[in-house]
Structure 1
Amino acid sequence: MSTLSWQATAAGATFVDGEHFHAVPGGACLASAYHPDYVIQGWHGTLVVGAVTILVGIVNGFFADSLPQIQKFMAILFGVGWIPVVVVLIALAPHPPAGDVFTKFSSEGWSPMGLSVMVGQISALYSLVSFDAAAHMSEEVRRAGLAVPRAMMWSYTANAVIGVVVVFAYLYSIPDVDAALSSPTGFPILYVLQEATYWGTLPIAIMLIMIATAGCIGCNASASRETFAFARDDGLPFKNWLAKVTPKSLIPFNSVLITCIITFLLSLINIGSTVAFNAIISLQLIALMATYATSIACVLFKRMKGEHNLPSAQWSLGRSGKAINTVALVYSIYLVFWIGWPPLKAVTPSTFNWATPMFGAIFLFSLVFYYTNGRKVYKGPVTLVQA
C-alpha cells in the first residue's frame, strides 16, 4: 500500500505541476488564464506532464548529488514566497465583507452541509499528506533517527502556521465565489490573483511553478527510494531489477526510471477521462491513510503492552505517545471511509469515485502475492537492520 500510494503521489504532484504550465479539461493553466478562447485538449496537458517527468527523471537520475543544494534553494524560496502572495492579496485584491467569509456556506454537490464538509475535506487532506517523504530518504540522511522525525514535525508545523495566514488572506480576497469556481483556468487562486493584479499574476505563478517542480523532484526521489527499499527487502516483484544501485552514482536508477514511467502512464488516462485520474488521486489518499493506520496501530499495540516493547529511539513521543497514536489511528480510519465518496450525489459512471474498487483490486493482488511468494522471502526491515 505504501508503494502504491507513493507512486500515485509522484504522479499526482507532477500532474498538478503540469496543469499550471498548461491545461487539461477542467484543469488549470496560465494559457487559459490570459486566453479564455484557447481550446484545451487532454493530450496537451499530458505532453506537458511528460516534459516535467523527463526533467524530474534527469535531476533524480543524473544529478542526485545536487539534490540537497536544490532543495535548500527551494526551501528559501518557499519560506519567503508566501509573503508576496499575502501582500498582494491584502493590498490589491477586492475584499468581501467578513460575514461572507465566516457565515455564508454553500455546497457544490452534497447536502446537508455537514455531509458536504466531510466529503470536501479530501482536497484539504491532499495538501497535508506526504510529509513522511523524509522517512523514505532516511538511508541517505546523516543521523536519520533524529533528523528525519525533526524534519517531519517542524515542516508540518511551519506549513500549518503559514498555511493559516495564507488561507485567511485568500478567503478575504475572493469577491465572487461563483466567478472564481467558473474561471477558465480551473484554479480559483489564479482568478483571485488576476483580480488583484492582472499581469502581476505571472511572476507569482512562475514562483509557484518552481516550488511545485521542486516538490515533484522530491516526490519522485521519495517514491523511488521507497520502491527500491521494499524491492531490496524482497517485498515486490522484479526485485533484483528494482533494487539495483548504480555503482558510480549510488542511485537506484531503475526505481527512478520506473517511477517516471508510471507517472507518465497514469497521465495518459487524462486523454480519455479526467475523472479516472481524479480517482487515482483518491487512490493515493486511501492507500496512504491505510498505510498510516496500519503502522500506527502496530506501534500503539506495542505501547499498550509496555513502552519496553518498542525499540530504543533518539526521538520519541514519550508519555504522549499513546494519546497521539490513538487519535491518529481513529482519524486515519475515519478518513479512509470518506475519501472513497464521489464528488456529486447523483452518481454516474463519469462521476463515480473509482478509487475504492481499484484499491480493493490491488489489495487483493497484494494478499495473493504475499501468500504465494512474499511470506516465504520477506523478513522486514527491522530484521535486516538488527542483522
Structure 2
Amino acid sequence: MEWTYLPMPATPIGGRAHKSDKDVARSQGGLHVTITRPEDKRGADFSFNSSSRKSANILVFKSTMTAVDEKGPRPSTQLGDVRDLQDLTLLGYKPELHRNRSMFTLLFQSLAIAAIPYGFGSPLISAVYGGGQLPMFLGWIVVLILDECIALSLSELASRFPTASGPYYWSFQLASPRYRTVLSFITGWCWLIGNWTITLSVNFGFASLVAATVNLYRPDFAVQPWQLLLIFYALCFLTFLVVAFGNKLLPLVDTICAVFTAISILVTLIALSVKADVGRHSPSYTLGHYDTTLSGWGNFSFFIGILPAAYTFSAIGMISSMAEECDKPTTKLPNALSLCVPVGGIAGLFFIIPICATLPDLTDILQAPVGQALPYIFGRVTGSPGGGLALTVLVLIITFFCSISITVAASRCTWAFARDNAIPLASLWAKIDERHGTPIWALVLTTVVQLLLGLINLGSSSAFLAFVSVGVISLAVSYGIPIAISLTYQRREVRAAHWKMPRTVGFAVNIIAVIWIVFELVLFSLPTVLPVTAVSMNYAIVVFVGILALSAVWYGIYARKVYRGPPESDGLTIAS
C-alpha cells in the first residue's frame, strides 16, 4: 500500500460511524487502523493523525487500497482522496464505492436519465390530447422553470448531506427527533419505489417504441402483451450485464450518450425541417395552436398536455444516489443537479419546435399504434417508413443509454436503503462486489422487481400503466418531504452548505418547488381522457397508496425493530 502522507486528525474511516461506537482501535502515530464489528467483519478501515483537518485534501492514495477480511484479500478499490473519505465518515458511512465520476459525468448521467427525445417523445400522445403545440412548447418552458426550482432545492440538500442515501437521509437529519425515523422511512420507501418504477417505465417504454416501429412497415401488426414482455425482458437483462460488469466504463457511457443525444437532436431537426411531408405550419400556429376538444377536459387540457415535459425531468434527483462515487461531492453533485434542467431544457427546444412546426393532424396522431405518437409522426413527416425508422432508431439508442444510466442510479438507491436496514434481507442487498465496485445484489433486486412487475401487463395494461405513473408520483413525494421539512425549520440546515441559494431566493424557490410537487401529484393521478372508462382510468394513486400501506405493515411488523434511521450527522458545512 503506497501513500503520500500528510497527517490529519484521528477519525475512524470505516463502518457506520455512530458516536456510540466503541470498537475502534487507533494506531499510535501509525496510518492504519482496523475496525471489527459484529455486523461488519471486514477489516482495513483507517484513521489519521494531524493538527489540521484542512490538510486532508492533500493526502491522496497514490495507488490503491487492499482490504482484508476473514476470507482473505479483497480486490483493490479506488475509494478517493482522504478528504472525501473523512467527509463520508462524518456523514456516518464507510467508503465502499469507486469514486470515478466528475461533475461533467454526473451531469451527463442526469441528461442520460432525462433522455430528452425519449422522455418527451414516449408520452407525447398526452400532449396531443392536451391540445397540441401550445402545451408542447409553452408547457415545456413552464415545466423547466418549475422543475429547476426542485433541482435547486435538492442541490442545497445534496451539498449539505452528500450520501447515496439521498432524500430519506436528508429527511432524517432535518426533522425533529420525535418524527425523523418515521419520516425518513416514508421518504425512503417513496424514493425506492420511485426509483424502481421510473426505471420500469423507461425499459417498458423501449419495448413499446420497438412495437410502434414495426407498425411503420406493417400497419396491421397488433403487438401482443407477451411480445412486449419479451422485448422488455431482453432490455432488462442486457442492461443488467452492462451495469454489473462495466462499472469502470459507465462514466464513458454517459458521456457518449450526451454526445449521441446532441447529434440525434440535430439530425431530427434537419430531417423534419427539410422533409416536412405533411407541410409546415406558420410560426403562430407552431407555437400557439391549442385544441381543447380532444381530451374532454376543456381549458384544463393544457395541463394534460404538459405531462410529457413533467415526465422528462421527473427523475432529476436520482443522481443524488451517486454522491459516494464522485470526488468533492459537496460542490460537484449540486452543480450537476442544478445544470441538468437548463441544459436539457435548451436542448429539448431544438427537438420540440421542429415537431411542432411539422405536426400532422392531431386527430390522426391519436390513432398511433401502441399509443406511441413519435414513430407515427416521424413516418408521416419524412414521408416514408424508412425515414421514420431511421429517426426512431436514434431514439431507441438513446433509450438504451437511459436504461443503463437510470438502472445504475436505482441500484445505488436500493443499496443505500438496504445499508440502513430498511428493507427485507437488507444484509444481502447491501453487499458490494469488490471486483467490479458494484452493489451487485441491489442491482439484482432492482432488476427482479422490474421483471415481476412486467408480468402485470399480461393481465391488465391499465394496472401496469398505473405502476408506470407511480414512478413520477413516488419520486415527487420523496423530493417534497425533505424540502418541506427544511422550509418548516426556516432552512437553517442549508444556510451553511457549500452550495446554497441566497436566503430570500431560497425561500421562494423552495415554496414554488413544494407547490409544484403537490400539483404534480394531482396531475399524474388524473385520467388523460374524459369521460372515464375502466380502461382509461388512472389507478396510479390507488397503487401508490397500496404500496405505502404495505411498507407501513412491514414497518409495524419488523422494520421498526431494526430501522433506526440513517446515522446521525451534522452534515458537511463550509466550516467543517
TM-score, structure 2 normalization? 0.62
> How far apart are residue 265 of structure 1 and its match?
1.7
Question: Within 5 Å, which residues of 2 pair with 1:129-140?
Answer: 129-140=314-325
Q: Deviations over 1:18-67 (max 9, x none)?
A: 2222x2xxxxx211111112232111111001000011000111112211
Worse-matched range after superposition: 168-177 or 216-225: 168-177
* Partners of 1:30 and 1:185 within 8 A in 2: no
Q: Which amino acid aligns with 2:435?
A: K
Question: Within 5 Å, which residues of 2 pair with 1:274-313?
Answer: 274-302=461-489, 304=490, 307=492, 309-310=493-494, 312-313=496-497
Q: Deviations over 1:205-261 (max 9, x none)?
A: 222111110101111111111011011012212111111112322211111111111
Q: Which amino acid aligns with 2:292?
A: S
> How far apart are residue 99 of structure 1 and its match?
4.9
> How far apart are residue 175 of structure 1 and its match?
3.0
* Partners of 1:33 and 1:184 within 8 A in 2: no
From the two aligned structures, give the one with the greater helix fraction: 1
Q: 1:355 aligns with which of 529, 540, 557?
A: 540
Q: Distance in 1 between matches of 2:317 and 2:304?
A: 24
Give the secondary-structure state (helix, strand or coil) at the position aligned to 1:137.
helix
CA distance change for structure 1 residues 14 and 89 in 2, over 3 Å: closer, same or farther?
same
Q: Which amino acid aligns with 2:483?
A: I
Q: Distance in 1 between matches of 2:568 and 2:374?
A: 48
* Partners of 2:431 and 2:441 within 8 A in 1: yes
> Partner of 2:377 in structure 1?
192
> Partner of 1:55 in structure 2?
238
Gapped regions of structure 1 (runs ≥ 5): 24-28
Worse-matched range after superposition: 221-230 or 367-376: 367-376
Q: Distance in 1 between matches of 2:367 and 2:280?
A: 19
Q: Distance in 1 between matches of 2:364 and 2:479?
A: 38
Q: 2:526 aligns with which of 337, 341, 344?
A: 341
CA distance change for structure 1 residues 383 and 107 in 2, over 3 Å: closer, same or farther?
farther
CA distance change for structure 1 residues 97 and 279 in 2, over 3 Å: closer, same or farther?
same
Percent of residue pairs bearing the same amino acid type: 24
Give the secondary-structure state (helix, strand or coil) at the position aligned to 1:172.
helix
Question: Within 5 Å, which residues of 2 pair with 1:67-146?
Answer: 67-93=250-276, 94-101=279-286, 102-114=288-300, 116-146=301-331
Q: Which amino acid aligns with 2:296?
A: W
Computing the radius of gyration from Cα coordinates, the structure with the larger value is 2
Q: Deviations over 1:69-121 (max 9, x none)?
A: 1111111111222111111111211213445442441343323222x233443
> Partner of 2:214 in structure 1?
31
Q: Distance in 2 between matches of 1:277 and 1:107?
A: 27
Q: Which amino acid aligns with 1:378?
A: Y
Question: Within 5 Å, which residues of 2 pair with 1:98-247?
Answer: 98-101=283-286, 102-114=288-300, 116-184=301-369, 186-197=371-382, 198=384, 199-247=386-434
Give the secondary-structure state (helix, strand or coil) at the position aligned to 1:75.
helix
2:204 aligned with 1:15, yes or no? yes
Please, what is the CA RMSD of the aligned residues?
A: 2.1
> How far apart are residue 180 of structure 1 and its match?
2.1
Give the secondary-structure state (helix, strand or coil) at the position aligned to 1:383.
coil
CA distance change for structure 1 residues 243 and 385 in 2, over 3 Å: closer, same or farther?
farther
* Partners of 1:231 and 1:239 within 8 A in 2: yes
> Partner of 1:6 in structure 2?
195
CA distance change for structure 1 residues 385 and 323 in 2, over 3 Å: closer, same or farther?
closer
Q: Deviations over 1:278-332 (max 9, x none)?
A: 1112111211111111121012123x1x63x447422112322111001101111
Q: 1:266 aligns with which of 453, 465, 468?
A: 453
Q: Which amino acid aligns with 1:49?
A: F
> How far apart are residue 386 of structure 1 and its match?
6.3
TM-score, structure 1 normalization? 0.91
Q: Which amino acid aligns with 1:366?
A: S
> Partner of 2:185 in structure 1?
none
Q: Distance in 1 between matches of 2:520 and 2:527?
A: 14
Give the secondary-structure state (helix, strand or coil) at the position aligned to 2:337.
helix
Q: Distance in 1 between matches of 2:317 and 2:485?
A: 17
CA distance change for structure 1 residues 336 and 156 in 2, over 3 Å: closer, same or farther?
same
2:515 aligned with 1:330, yes or no? yes
CA distance change for structure 1 residues 347 and 105 in 2, over 3 Å: closer, same or farther?
closer
Q: Which amino acid aligns with 1:206?
A: V
Number of equivalent positions:
377
Q: Distance in 1 between matches of 2:377 and 2:494?
A: 50
Q: Deviations over 1:361-382 (max 9, x none)?
A: 2222223333444444334345
* Partners of 1:185 and 1:191 within 8 A in 2: no
CA distance change for structure 1 residues 361 and 188 in 2, over 3 Å: closer, same or farther?
closer
Q: Distance in 1 between matches of 2:550 and 2:502?
A: 38
Give the secondary-structure state (helix, strand or coil) at the position aligned to 1:236.
coil
CA distance change for structure 1 residues 84 and 279 in 2, over 3 Å: closer, same or farther?
same
Q: Which amino acid aligns with 1:301?
A: T
* Partners of 1:32 and 1:185 within 8 A in 2: no
Q: Which amino acid aligns with 1:113?
A: N
* Partners of 1:246 and 1:252 within 8 A in 2: yes
Q: 2:501 aligns with which of 297, 312, 317?
A: 317
Give the secondary-structure state (helix, strand or coil) at the position aligned to 2:435.
coil
Worse-matched range after superposition: 266-275 or 222-231: 266-275
Q: Distance in 2 between matches of 1:219 and 1:292?
A: 17
* Partners of 2:192 and 2:413 within 8 A in 1: yes
Give the secondary-structure state (helix, strand or coil) at the position aligned to 2:227.
helix
